[in-house]
Amino acid sequence: MIVGSRKPIPELKRVLARHKKVLFAGCGTCVTVCLAGGEREVGITAYALRMARKLDGNPLEIEQVTIERQCENEFIQDVAAAVERNEAILSFACGAGVQALAERFPQKPVYAALNTQFLGILEEQAVWTEKCLGCGDCVLSDFGGVCPVTRCAKRMLNGPCGGSTEERCEVADPERPCAWQLIYKRLEAIGQLDNLERVYPAKDWRPSWHAGARKIVREEHRV
């Protein structure tokens, strides 16, 4: 799932400063599940911005709508009339959803309400962790299903770095487990420690985003 968090109210206030009537558009998929951009968060943010603007003596009129999936044209279609009625859109979708709206409505300003952060999973109620960078050349099969590219702070493919303490990574977050500790334990549990005997070649980053935005075309499914 794509995980994000709402931007601070002062930042959103600055972004919307020039508008008087704005459509707040939530997305019913990933960002609803990560409690950042669903119907509920749209409502709370609308209260906050309406009040903040009223305090400035410059009231903001807000219309709220949450669509199933903002990254698909088929669903975006449903809000065309609402978009028409408003000066601008504040999108609560991930970066993909925001851009989908901007492409679909070339004459309307579209702004991002969230900081889109990562591809991750729900660890427990209201705790998410990053699991994948979308590197385009997945190595999970060799590392027991633990991604060193994402979860090792140094992106090491021949780890560990030697800096871990008590199974924790030495970089930044003292709570974060060392990915290489996890890889070792997992390979041990599934009887594949021999995977670690070979020196892993340097990662080929060409399938990643380093050459710009990627595109996938599946000829067999085109119509």
Residues at the contact surface with ligand SF4, assessed by CB under 6 A: 132-135, 138-140, 147, 149-150, 152-154, 156, 159-161, 163-164, 169-171, 178-180
Q: Is 54 in the site for another protein (CB under 8 A)?
A: yes
For the chain, the distance separating the N- and C-terminal CA atoms, rounded to the nearest angstrom, is: 28
Q: Which stretch binds another protein (CB under 8 A): 39-47, 116-124, 156-164, 191-199?
A: 39-47
Would strands 21-27 and 61-67 be described as parallel, antiparallel, or unpaired?
A: parallel
What is the side-by-side strand order in the sheet with 2-6?
2-6, 114-124, 127-132
Would strands 61-67 and 88-91 be described as parallel, antiparallel, or unpaired?
A: unpaired
Nearer to ligand SF4, 64 or 192 (CB): 192
CB 27 within 8 A of CB 70: yes
Q: Could you tell me the smallest distance in angstroms from the CB atom of residue 18 to another protein? A: 15
Residue 152 interacts with which of ligand SF4, another protein, none, CB < 5 to 8 Å by class: ligand SF4
Q: Pick left, alpha or beta for residue 126 (phi over 0 → left; psi -120 to 50 → alpha; otherwise beta).
A: left
The residue ranges that bind another protein (CB under 8 A) are: 8-10, 13-14, 40, 43-44, 47-48, 50-52, 54-57
